Amino acid sequence: MQKIGILGGGQLGRMLLQAAADFVVDTYVLENDPGCPAAHLCHHFVQGDIRNFDDVYNFGKGLDALTIEIESVNVDALDALEKEGVRVYPKPAAIRTIKNKILQKTFYKDHEIPSPSFIITNSQAEVRSRKDLLPAVHKLGEGGYDGRGVEVLRKEEDLDKAFDQPAVLETMVEIEKEIAITVAKNDQGELTLFPAVEMLFDQKLNLLDFQLSPARIDKQVLWKAEAMAQKVVEKLNSPGLFAVELFIDRTGNVWVNETAPRVHNSGHHTIEANYCSQYHMLLRILMQLPLGNTAPIIPSSIVNILGAPGYQGEAKYEGLDEVLKMDNVFVHLYGKTMTKPGRKMGHVTILSQEPQELIFKANKIKNILKVMA
């Protein structure tokens, strides 16, 4: 039986383990918090810090394959494990490139992958000296996640929000649509794409509000986006699952925003809406099984269940019964006992052949389902 390890025990690890129940596999999780969402679903839980060399190295020794559910892992330990024969997905070199926004943006530039133009800044003073570049987006080099580590600088008064450490100052694109394409690649170099999804963001929290799949975009634009997503993964030169986020501007140009080297929020709908989910796909890659069928069974939408503003403490779900009574609606709660404003507590997937019904139900659920304390 193969031994598969996951670095991180959040909701992505939880859903990967739910899919792993369909395979004959021995699962391991490394996470600091023994009460994390994934802890009770794995065969072996190891308490430790995914950023610590010794914890990651000792966890990975003796495993067949390792993957991540968050980028902030100790890549040096993964390098050492890979040299000793542990299969790491994606490869440590790919994680190292992606986890640092400066390296990631430089990677796009070096490989001529269209991405908004940028400069590297090392201090807030440096950003102030380049106010001619406003409006712009300032992205922290390392440590940003789920909307944190990104500041929109529209005018001079916003410069107080600029980071006083290494970061990327990126030209703001006039965005018409944001889409994401998940790409799967196995050890043999075979590659397959999930259909593009359209993402609608909560502008205040900079978090995914809800999304539609497949994306409502012109075929020519879609082909361009798919070619770019495929090029990103090919140039990363690594097997694994990658979520490539892209912008479509008002003139139909496509730009790569950023890449996640793992299962991703934009692929949750695939659990119910596609023949092979992103989680089953990653397990196939980890276990060196054939790639799955990415085709959609039916159009879908996702609503994120976020902690309500003004509430912090033990989570209470208001409106859950009403949502559970709806047809073709699937509720996923992540098992987090404590809520705080904007925290991802779960998601709801909606299935329908009618895009208008997907949007209507998504908005209805957003208004009904609240996480209070």
Per-residue confidence band for 362, with pLDDT thresholds at 50, 70 and 90: very high
- Asked if pLDDT for residue 293 goes beyond 90, the answer is yes
Higher pLDDT, 146 or 216: 216
Q: Mean pLDDT across the stretch 352-363?
A: 94
Superfamily classification of domain 117-171? ATP-grasp fold, A domain (3.30.1490.20)
User: Range(s) for CATH 3.40.50.20 in the chain?
Assistant: 2-89
Average pLDDT estimate for 123-145: 89
**Are 228 and 254 a contacting pair, CB within 8 Å?**
yes
CA distances 204 to 152, 208, 362, Å, are 11, 11, 18
Please name the fold of domain 2-89.
Rossmann fold (3.40.50)
The reported pLDDT for the residue numbered 123 is 93
pLDDT band at 102 (very low <50, low <70, confident <90, very high): very high
Contact 272, 11 (CB under 8 A): no
Whether the per-residue pLDDT at 254 is higher than 90: the answer is yes
Residue 149: pLDDT band with limits 50, 70, 90: confident
The mean of the pLDDT values for the chain is: 95
What integer pLDDT is reported at residue 205 of this predicted model? 60
Residue ranges, comma separated, of all CATH 3.30.1490.20 domains in the chain are 117-171
CATH 3.30.470.20 domain locations along the chain: 175-372
In the predicted model, is pLDDT for residue 202 greater than 70? Answer: no
Q: How far apart are CA 319 and CA 310, in angstroms?
A: 18
CATH 3.30.470.20 assigned to domain 175-372? The reply is: yes
